[in-house]
């Protein structure tokens, strides 16, 4: 029987590097609900992740990962019920996903990986997303105001970007665009969630307020039981390359960071929770 495979997807600067390092630190030093499968440790790119941990142990942010240095990472995992899962980063640097969108061309390796995947883990950093106001509604309310010239935006609105990208991925993976039942479980991780002050709000409400069209798209095209939205702060706070944060130095990075589960408002220190949710959906 084939081991289920989950793809972790996200563009550059979406928080994947710190999440990868923190996940590896927990699996290595504080395994709880998940651990690296015995005998498969060589499959993990230790050089990439150890470098992230080293920076965090000094209380500093990790360096940006060059896209050409570590193009992919594989975590062979097993949960407390002995369910096995391969967590796969097909694009650790995040540049390939952006090129896939820009060029509308999907390499054979990506096609094979998407077709064989059983679930998707998608990173979105809301604070880095670009959105535009509703110009038509604004003009309708103020008809006397007209733009002096036609201003064409070079950057896609994030709502349109993520809708288009998911449609590309679904098409390549041979999932019906309009069929809810055919699509894989999708966990959306709203990364760097500590950048928001959202006390009392569920992550899905924050996504709905920030990217309403995208939220409507995923709600309409995924089964409710196969969709979850999480707030994630892999570090629990912002670090710089020379912050030398005492909490990370004294306690260790494996004690930092949290997630806010789907349909909840509290912080959970188990960074593996979104992965465990996907395991439950794919096993």
How far apart CA 237 and CA 257 sit, in angstroms, is 8
CB 214 within 8 A of CB 158: yes
The confidence score (pLDDT) of residue 277 equals 94
For residue 164, the number of C-alpha atoms closer than 13 Å in the C-beta half-sphere is 13
Residue 137 has pLDDT above 80, yes or no: no
The confidence score (pLDDT) of residue 41 equals 47
As a residue count, the chain comes to: 283
The confidence score (pLDDT) of residue 146 equals 56
Where does residue 209 fall: left (phi above 0), alpha (psi -120 to 50 degrees), or beta otherwise? Answer: alpha
For range 154-171, the mean pLDDT: 89
> In which residue are the tokens 């409710």 written?
224
What count of other Cβ atoms lies within 10 Å of the Cβ of residue 57? 14
Across all residues in the chain, what is the average pLDDT?
Answer: 84
Residue 95 has pLDDT above 80, yes or no: no
Q: Give the torsion through C-alpha atoms of 5, 10, 13, 18, to 10 deg.
A: -20
Residue 145 has pLDDT above 70, yes or no: no
Question: Residue 217's pLDDT band (boundaries 50, 70, 90)?
Answer: very high
Output 178 or 92, whichever has higher pLDDT: 178
The confidence score (pLDDT) of residue 269 equals 93
Q: Is the dihedral of CA 41, 110, 169, 166 positive or negative?
A: positive
Residue 150 has pLDDT above 80, yes or no: no
> In which residue are the tokens 């015995």 written?
38
C-alpha distances in angstroms, 238 versus 67, 116, 262? 23, 36, 23
- What is the chain's percent helix, strand, coil content, to nearest 5? 40, 15, 45
| Residue 280 dihedral angles phi and psi, to the nearest 5° | -60, -30
The domains located in the chain, with CATH, are: 5-143+154-282 (3.40.50.300)
How far apart CA 208 and CA 211 sit, in angstroms, is 6
pTM: 0.87
The confidence score (pLDDT) of residue 224 equals 95
**Residue 53, C-beta contacts closer than 8 angstroms, at least 6 positions apart:** 21, 24, 25, 253
For range 77-94, the mean pLDDT: 82
For range 138-156, the mean pLDDT: 59
The confidence score (pLDDT) of residue 42 equals 47
The confidence score (pLDDT) of residue 199 equals 76
How far apart CA 107 and CA 100 sit, in angstroms, is 8
pLDDT in tens, 26-77: 988 888 889 888 765 445 556 778 888 899 999 999 876 555 555 578 888 9
For range 213-230, the mean pLDDT: 96
For range 177-195, the mean pLDDT: 90
């Amino acid at each position: 029987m084939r081991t289920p495979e989950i793809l972790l997807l996200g563009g550059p600067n979406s928080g994947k590097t710190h999440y990868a390092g923190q996940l590896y630190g927990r699996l290595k030093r504080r395994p709880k609900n998940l651990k690296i499968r015995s005998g498969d440790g060589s499959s993990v790119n230790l050089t990439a992740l150890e470098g992230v941990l080293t920076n965090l142990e000094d209380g500093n942010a990790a360096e940006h990962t060059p896209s050409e240095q570590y193009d992919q990472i594989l975590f062979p995992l097993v949960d407390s019920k002995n369910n096995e899962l391969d967590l796969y980063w097909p694009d650790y640097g995040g540049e390939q996903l952006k090129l896939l969108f820009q060029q509308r061309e999907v390499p054979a390796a990506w096609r094979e990986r998407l077709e064989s995947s059983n679930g998707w883990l998608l990173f979105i950093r809301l604070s880095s997303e670009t959105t535009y106001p509703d110009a038509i509604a604004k003009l309708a309310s103020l008809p006397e105001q007209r733009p002096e010239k036609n201003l064409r935006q070079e950057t896609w609105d994030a709502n349109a970007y993520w809708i288009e990208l998911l449609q590309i991925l679904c098409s390549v993976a041979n999932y019906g665009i309009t069929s809810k039942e055919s699509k894989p479980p999708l966990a959306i991780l709203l990364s760097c969630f500590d950048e928001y002050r959202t006390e009392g709000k569920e992550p899905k409400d924050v996504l709905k307020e920030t990217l309403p069209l995208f939220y409507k798209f995923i709600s309409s095209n995924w089964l409710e039981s196969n969709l979850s939205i999480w707030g994630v702060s892999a570090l629990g706070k912002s670090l710089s390359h020379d912050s030398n944060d005492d909490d990370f130095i004294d306690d260790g990075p494996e004690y930092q960071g949290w997630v806010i589960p789907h349909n909840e408002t509290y912080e959970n220190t188990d960074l593996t929770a979104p992965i465990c949710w996907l395991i439950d959906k794919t096993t």
